[in-house]
Amino acid sequence: MDWSIQDVARLASTTSRTLRHYGDLGLLTPSRVGSNGYRYYDEHSLLFSLRQ
């Protein structure tokens, strides 16, 4: 199952802008980016970012 950037931001009590910034720094890489540019995260990508 994939979660949208908005879903992850809501669950983490932060903003999608912060998550995009983390992505730019290489701290949180989305599992895929939709054709519309939306970022999606699966369980592996979220857990992997916690282990770094």
| CATH code of the domain in which 39 resides | 1.10.1660.10
Q: Work out the pLDDT band at 13, boundaries 50, 70, 90.
A: very high
Domain count, the chain: 1
Q: Quick one: 8 exposed, middle or buried, by C-beta within 10 A (0-12, 13-18, 19+)? A: buried
Q: What is the pTM of this model?
A: 0.82
pLDDT at 52: 59
How far does CA 44 lie from the centroid of its chain?
11
Which structural domain, as residue segments, surrounds residue 15?
2-51
For residues 6-11, average pLDDT? 96
pLDDT in tens, 15-43: 999 999 999 998 999 999 999 999 999 99
